[in-house]
Structure 1
Amino acid sequence: MTEAADIAFTGAQEGLRAIAAQTQWINQQVGAGKLTLDPEAAEKAAKRCEDESNGLRTLFDEARAIARVEGLGNYPDGQQLAKRFEDKANDPQAGAFALIRQMQAELKKQADAFRAAARDYRATDEQNADDLRRGMQ
């Protein structure tokens, strides 16, 4: 890869790691009972994650274009260049397709984490209501 491509893909990988760390933090906080979210706010956050994930479908389609570069001729230089584009799209660890799919999966996990926080909120709210009702009897 060229230096510019390396930087771009490295940046994407770092962004993916940051999203994964954020998702992990949310799940840890929910699991420890330290994070509950109003169900409406949690649903908005989850929907935002899903919208971003859906937006990545367009990016995935655009990445397909770099995997099928045509018109560079039958000369070795043209074929090598086409192969480099194909490799950038298809590399299983750091290619465009892999990064996009990983980001989509991470955004789904994050949406699930927000919804889990909303479930905890509801459970806490119901428990508090039950406790209050028992105290009034």
Structure 2
Amino acid sequence: MSGGEEAELRPMQVGTEQAQPMMAAKQRLQASAAAVGTLRTDVAAGRLKLDPEAGREVQDLLTEQLDQVDAWLRRSDDLGRRAPLGQNPVGEAMAGKFADRATSEGDSFTGVLTQYRQVLDEAQDAVAEAMRRYQTADEHAVDMFQNLKSQL
């Protein structure tokens, strides 16, 4: 402190700083999953078809992101190792708690990454289906024009 500033003493809320980023990540993940669900619904209903060239660009971006998530998941195994915090009840409990937060299913780092990977897979499937529907519609239009041309 400089210049006569006084420190404000506030009680520290344990876990709040860690919980906020995790909650934000979960909310973004849920929003992404909902968006992919809407995408899949629109594709299935025929409201969305995707030009194969544009679709390949999207698939390349999704594949790049999937590769990154896979790398993060491989590295997350290191987070699951128990930290050497001592051979006492408190150290053992804390080491277990940290390892569990990193790698357990659900709200852990690994759990959220696994869910994110699933959303990316679903997005990739939706893009592939939209590309197939575009191709089918395009082939149908060509067939109709050829039939019309042969009738003239």
**Same fold by TM-score greater than 0.5:** yes
Q: What's the counterpart of residue 107 of structure 1?
A: 120
Q: Name the one with the larger helix percent.
A: 1
Q: What's the counterpart of residue 76 of structure 2?
A: 63
SS of the residue aligned with 2:76? helix
Higher RCO, 1 vs 2 (CA within 8 Å, ≥6 residues apart): 1
1:119-130 equivalent positions in 2, closer than 5 A: 119-130=132-143
TM-superposed CA distance for 1:21, in Å, is 1.1
Kept in 1: contact 2:79–2:103 (CA 8 A): no
Cα RMSD for the two superposed structures? 1.6
Bigger Rg, which one: 2
Q: 2:103 and 2:75 mapped to 1: Cα distance?
A: 13
TM-superposed CA distance for 1:65, in Å, is 2.5
TM-superposed CA distance for 1:11, in Å, is 1.7
> TM-score normalised to the size of structure 1?
0.90
Q: 1:18 and 1:56 mapped to 2: Cα distance?
A: 18
Runs of 4+ aligned structure 1 residues displaced above 4 Å come to none
> Quick check: 71-80 or 25-34, which moved more?
71-80
Q: 2:17 and 2:77 mapped to 1: Cα distance?
A: 20
- Number of residue-to-residue matches in the alignment: 137
Unmatched segments (≥5 aa) in structure 1: none
Kept in 1: contact 2:59–2:127 (CA 8 A): yes
Q: 2:107 and 2:91 mapped to 1: Cα distance?
A: 23
SS of the residue aligned with 2:107? coil
Q: Give the aligned residue type for 1:78.
A: G
- Provide Cα deviations, 1:18-37, integer angstroms capped at 9, x if missing partner: 22111111111111111111
